[in-house]
């Protein structure tokens, strides 16, 4: 297993090095600094949760669910970004909350530029996936485009939110309702049931929040309700991730959303500390497992320019994340740990390296299991309308407790994000999945090739 780990590290380093060389040899004449995780990286929130990051123009914003929120790294209450110089075009795609088509149509432009004003926005997301393993549900991966040789309507989402004002006491909320195949895949305990694997509906987020100007100059943010997780870089919601398909860590080693409470302490301009209690993996105001779970995260920017972020997270408790069928138990104890590094090399190039590891005890068979992982994501802004993205990943399910197969997985994805106008994104990708043992095509193949194209319309 040690040899496999070093192979995975080498693969991530090779991919990172290749793009870095390309970036150094490419002339930079246009673009805009952002500020978060990879561009200039600006602290934001996952429509309310710190920790995940989404592409906000030329900025990576933390997030897992919908729009900017108020935390050190995500989307429900977004931090203000520095305006681009007049002679430069913004790099990267435009997030739905910045398109403002629906917002302007219903509310006019009076509060258009007020960061804490009421906001209404949404998106439509759909795509087609070809799989070398044939039609029907794909074994293990890919997710969320999980049906081979088929067009899939993934998401129709509508978000109503009021971000927090970080300069004074303020109250906010976020209601993210979505429908489609992704809602069917990710339906929570206590949510809206469906028997159709290609269509469901639910609230991805439904929480209230408050900013308290206490303890530190940056104050404290409080959130309560159902919200996107603070763990992990990629998101369940299509606009807030760089690819159509998602990674192994996101689906097998993280919990995408939960019901609970969070406190975010903005210690200073470079440090945020987050802690909270949840009701278990993917719940909608109901308890999963025999008791609550504990979640925490520390986010530290190495300098005030916010070029490099170091993030450490943990999530522990009864059924904090999901076990594979046959292993799940109400008494299951999960312990997960994440380390993430995000760095902006230039206006054009960003890199994210992440590892999610953990172990589970008290499984249904009376045993335990461990998992280890590593990926490297590179985002290169070729010009204001086109990004080239790459991801290399290794995931070890030591005893099969996450995926149902005890084996090593490897995945390489190459894709483009073409955004000819601010409301439209077209994302083609080619992806190869590999395993040490036959797991794909219901346990018959060691590899799988998928070719996919996705359209994302924001309003």
Q: pLDDT tens, 166-205?
A: 999 999 999 999 999 999 999 999 999 999 999 999 999 9
- Residue 163: the pLDDT is 96
- The pair of three-digit structure tokens given for residue 252, joined into one six-digit string: 């097998």
Local confidence band at 354 (pLDDT 50, 70, 90 cut-offs):
very high
Residue 390: which residues within 8 A CB-CB, separation 6 or more? 15, 19, 377, 378, 412, 413, 414, 415
pLDDT, tens digit (0-9, with 9 covering 90-100), for 317-332: 999 999 998 888 777 8
- Of 187, 190, 128, give the one whose Cα is nearest residue 153: 128
pLDDT band at 297 (very low <50, low <70, confident <90, very high): very high
Share of the chain above pLDDT 70, in %: 80
Residue 420: per-residue pLDDT:
98
Using DSSP's 3-state secondary structure scheme, residue 67 falls into coil
Is the per-residue pLDDT at 80 higher than 60? no
Residue 21 — very low, low, confident or very high, per pLDDT cuts 50/70/90? very low
- Any idea where the domains of the chain sit in the sequence? 2-458
Task: Report the 10 Å Cβ neighbour count for 345.
Answer: 19
Report residue 250 CA to chain centroid gap.
7
More confident residue, 422 or 13: 422
Q: State the average pLDDT over residues 348-374.
A: 93
Q: Tens digits of per-residue pLDDT, 86-100?
A: 457 899 999 999 999
Residues 402-442: tens digit of each pLDDT: 999 999 999 999 999 999 999 999 999 999 999 999 999 99
Is 80 exceeded by the pLDDT of residue 30? no
Q: Is 217 exposed, middle or buried (0-12, 13-18, 19+ CB in 10 A)?
A: exposed
Bigger pLDDT: 298 vs 65: 298
Token pair of 85 as six digits: 């110089």
Pseudo-torsion of CA 14, 432, 340, 334, nearest 10°?
-140
Nearest to 107, CA basis, from 98, 116, 97, 117? 117
Q: pLDDT: is 84 or 34 the higher one?
A: 84
Report the SS3 class of residue 363: coil
Structure tokens of 95?
């997030």
The pLDDT-based confidence of 136 (bands split at 50, 70, 90) is: very high
Structure confidence at residue 285 (pLDDT): 96
Is the pLDDT reported for residue 370 higher than 50? yes
Cα 212 to Cα 217: distance, rounded to the nearest angstrom: 10
Question: What's the pLDDT score for residue 228?
Answer: 96
Give the chain's mean pLDDT. Answer: 84
What's residue 291's pLDDT? 86
Give pLDDT, residue 33: 34
What is the reported pLDDT for 88?
Answer: 72
pLDDT band at 374 (very low <50, low <70, confident <90, very high): very high
Smallest CA-to-CA distance from 246 within 420, 411, 373 is with: 411
Residue 44's pLDDT band (boundaries 50, 70, 90)? very low
| pTM exceeds 0.85, yes or no | no
The superfamily in CATH containing domain 2-458 is Porin (2.40.160.10)
Instruction: Give me the percent of the chain exceeding a pLDDT of 90.
Output: 72
Beta-strand runs (E) in 251-403: 257-266, 271-278, 293-301, 308-318, 333-344, 349-361, 369-383, 386-397
* β-strand partners of 389: 379, 415
- The 8-class DSSP code of residue 188 comes to P
């Amino acid at each position: 297993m040690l040899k496999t780990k070093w192979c995975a590290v080498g693969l991530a380093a090779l991919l990172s090095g290749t793009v870095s060389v390309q970036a150094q040899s490419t002339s930079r004449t246009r673009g805009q600094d952002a500020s978060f995780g990879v561009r200039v990286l600006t602290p934001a929130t996952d429509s309310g949760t710190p920790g995940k990051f989404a592409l906000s123009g030329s900025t990576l914003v933390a997030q897992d669910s919908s729009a900017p929120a108020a935390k050190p790294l995500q989307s429900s209450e977004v931090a203000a970004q520095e305006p681009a110089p007049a002679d430069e075009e913004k790099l990267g795609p435009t997030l739905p909350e910045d398109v403002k088509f629906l917002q302007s149509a219903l509310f006019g432009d009076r509060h258009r530029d007020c960061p804490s004003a009421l906001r209404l926005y949404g998106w439509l997301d759909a795509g087609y996936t070809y799989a070398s393993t044939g039609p029907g549900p794909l074994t293990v991966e890919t997710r969320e485009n999980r049906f081979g040789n088929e067009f899939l309507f993934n998401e129709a989402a509508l978000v109503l939110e009021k971000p927090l004002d970080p300069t004074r006491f303020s109250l906010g909320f976020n209601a993210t309702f979505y429908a489609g195949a992704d809602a069917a895949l990710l339906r929570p305990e206590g949510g809206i049931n469906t028997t159709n694997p290609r269509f469901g509906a639910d609230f991805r987020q439904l929480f209230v929040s408050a900013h308290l100007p206490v303890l530190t100059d940056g104050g404290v943010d409080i959130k309560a309700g159902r919200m996107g997780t603070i763990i992990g870089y990629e998101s369940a919601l299509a606009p807030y991730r760089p690819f159509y398909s998602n990674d192994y860590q996101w689906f097998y080693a993280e919990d995408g959303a939960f019901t609970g409470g969070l406190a975010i302490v903005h210690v200073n301009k470079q440090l945020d500390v987050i802690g909270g209690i949840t009701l278990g993996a993917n719940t909608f105001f109901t308890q999963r497992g025999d008791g609550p779970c504990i979640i925490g995260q520390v986010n530290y920017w190495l300098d005030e320019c916010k070029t490099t972020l170091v993030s450490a997270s943990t999530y522990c408790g009864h059924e904090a994340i999901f076990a594979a069928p046959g292993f799940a138990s109400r008494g299951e104890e999960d312990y997960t740990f994440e380390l993430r590094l995000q760095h902006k090399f230039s206006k054009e190039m960003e890199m994210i390296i992440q590892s999610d590891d953990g172990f589970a005890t008290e499984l249904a068979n009376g045993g335990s299991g461990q998992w280890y992982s590593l990926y490297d994501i590179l985002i290169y802004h070729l010009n204001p309308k086109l990004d080239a993205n790459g991801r290399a990943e290794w995931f070890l399910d030591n005893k099969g407790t996450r995926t149902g197969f005890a084996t090593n997985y490897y995945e390489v994805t190459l894709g483009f994000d073409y955004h000819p106008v601010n409301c439209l994104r077209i994302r083609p990708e080619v992806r190869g999945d590999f395993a040490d043992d036959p797991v794909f095509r219901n346990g018959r193949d060691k590899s799988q090739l998928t070719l996919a194209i996705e359209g994302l319309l924001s309003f």
